[in-house]
Amino acid sequence: MDSIIVEGPSKLEGEVTVSGAKNAVLALMPACILAPGRNRFTNVPDLADVRTMIKLLKILGAEAELQDGTLIIDSSGLNKWVAPYELVRTMRASVLVLGPLTAMFGRSRVSLPGGCAIGERPIDQHLKGLGLLGAEIEIEEGYIETSASKLKGNIVPFDISTVTGTENIMLASVLADGETILLNAACEPEVMELASVLNKMGARIGGAGTDIITIQGVERLSPIEDHQVMPDRIETGTLMVASALTKGDLFIRKCKFENVGAIIGKLIETGAEISRIDGGIRVRGGDEIKSIDINTLPYPGFPTDMQAQMMTLMSISNGLSVITENIFPQRFMHAGELRRMGADIKLVGNSAVVRGISNLRAAPIMASDLRASASLVLAGLAASGKTKISRVYHLDRGYDGLDKKLEAAGARIWREKD
Ligand code: EPU
């Protein structure tokens, strides 16, 4: 198992390039189940989660290969509908095969994901949606079993805004009979990306990016010849915070300004200077980090996937900050680790009260989930001394070479085998 060592404090300068979006590609890959043939995607990040989805598609009978950012999925031979526990337990996004398998085969058997480090994460809305499209659903021996002779379009009102829930039902309904209307649909850019790829495959989806999405069912989809995956907005935000935190000057290339508006807004409040330069964003850290309050919300609000990184920034701010987590109320595993580095953080319900201190101190710390591990790497950049972060496999699930990118921008960061 690898650990990451960061020797701080660092000042990041220069250019970094953002990779393709994990949460976009994890929804695009199951879409290939609906489009038998050779599908091709570029700008695909090399991540443990992408490799897990490749494994899952292969178990289902597809051929899939990722090389140098190009992912080919040949789904012509896809002929199985069981997603085993061994894979689903390592990656919750595996549940995204539920909708397309039910639509293609009229049946599926997908392990029910359990709890995870960031909270309980039920999937009741996915099941409600499939039920409304006419699928019979049973839970047997820890597996969701669906069956339906042919899904039928319907009105699907989500009780809460759910990203993968919206994606799963969109995937299920593109081949259904008639019209499906998703109400209170998630508006995240990754949902728009999925709709746009499905439309290129021949689907008829309107309204993606708003909270009402309409889908006119079609007979069949064709494979996608070429699609470039959108840039990762959470990696973009993480690099932006890295620059602000180290009082650096970083030009973040190949990212999409429009998708990170809430993060930009909050970083400006902390005193960072932000400018948009062709195809990228320049972030210069201010002399002082001002304390601000943060509330996580569905898009276009401030993303929960940036909450941990902002907590690191606030831990060396000039005052008191209240960070409220509204999406995953227990997503605070990083707080205890940051405290080990001297941070003053108190948890009160779903809020963290952070009193800024002048400097973090290096300590051995442990990553508990993907975004928590990013926040700890950031903390290591700011702290004086050598911070050792163990269990960095969490980081590799969702960041393509973050340590290399930071190193290229001047950080002293390396990996060690335990
Ligand atoms: N929820 C339910 N019932 C459901 C579905 C969701 O109660 O059926 C609740 C969740 O427990 C949570 C809220 O609804 O309180 C929103 O969860 P959502 O379903 O939107 O989350 P998700 O689809 O499971 C995706 C991302 C997460 C990201 C969240 C929120 C993917 C593969 N995952 O998860 O990404 O945090 O949306 O934006 O797209 C990450 O990348 O680190 C990550 C965790």
pLDDT in tens, 278-297: 889 999 999 999 999 999 99
Residues 272 and 295 in one domain: yes
Amino acid identity, position 28: L
Please tell me if the CB atom of residue 380 comes closer than 6 angstroms to any atom of ligand 1.
Answer: no
pLDDT tens, residue by residue, 305-320 = 999 999 999 999 999 9
Annotated active-site residue 32? The verdict is no
Residues 39 and 171 in one domain: yes
Residues 308 and 161 in one domain: no
pLDDT tens, residue by residue, 235-286 = 999 999 999 999 999 999 999 999 999 999 999 999 999 999 988 999 999 9
Amino acid identity, position 309: Q
On the question of pLDDT at 115 being above 70, the answer is no
Residues 323 and 285 in one domain: yes
Mutate which of 164, 234, 260, 333 for ligand 1? The one with the most ligand atoms within 8 Å of its CB, which is 164
Residues 218 and 282 in one domain: no
Please tell me if the CB atom of residue 327 comes closer than 6 angstroms to any atom of ligand 1.
Answer: yes
Domain end point (choices 195, 228, 261): 228
399 phi/psi in degrees, rounded to 5: -125, 125
CATH assignment at residue 340? 3.65.10.10
Residues 256 and 387 in one domain: yes
Residues 31 and 175 in one domain: yes
Residues 166 and 260 in one domain: no
Residues 269 and 288 in one domain: yes
Atom 29, ligand 1: which residue's CA is nearest? 163
Residues 222 and 368 in one domain: no
Overall number of domains in the chain: 2
Domain end point (choices 228, 259, 278): 228
Please tell me if the CB atom of residue 236 comes closer than 6 angstroms to any atom of ligand 1.
Answer: no
pTM, rounded to two decimals: 0.98
Domain end point (choices 204, 228, 252): 228
Residues 315 and 339 in one domain: yes
Residues 331 and 390 in one domain: yes
Please tell me if the CB atom of residue 194 comes closer than 6 angstroms to any atom of ligand 1.
Answer: no
Q: Domain range spanning residue 87?
A: 22-228
